[in-house]
Amino acid sequence: MIKYKKPRGTKDIYGLEMDVMQYVKRTVFGILAKHGYMEIRTPVFESSDLYLRGVGEDTDIVNKEMYTFDDKSRKKYNIKT
């Protein structure tokens, strides 16, 4: 039987711990909404050009700390962290 491991640095959250996290999130979002703030959700990936312009091509951030992939048209994207 194959035993699967979670990737290092990740954690499954469920049960009571998830209930607590959801309660805290609802509470914080409620307070922020009362003061005029709204939630924003951005894509989990962006065009690589965005990062290359911002930090440069030869930095460790781009070369070692980001996962890059190409779409079908060979346009490069980076996963946001």
Residue 77 exposed, middle or buried by CB count within 10 Å (0-12, 13-18, 19+): buried
* Coil vs helix vs strand at 11: coil
Summarize pLDDT for 8-63 with one digit per residue, the tens.
899 999 999 999 999 999 999 999 999 999 999 999 998 888 877 766 666 666 66
- C-alpha 17/C-alpha 62 separation (Å) is 34
Strands 76-79 and 45-47: antiparallel
pLDDT score at 79: 87
* Number of residues in the chain: 81
- Residue-level pLDDT at 63: 61
* pTM, entire model: 0.58
| Contact (Cβ atoms closer than 8 angstroms) between residue 79 and residue 48 | no
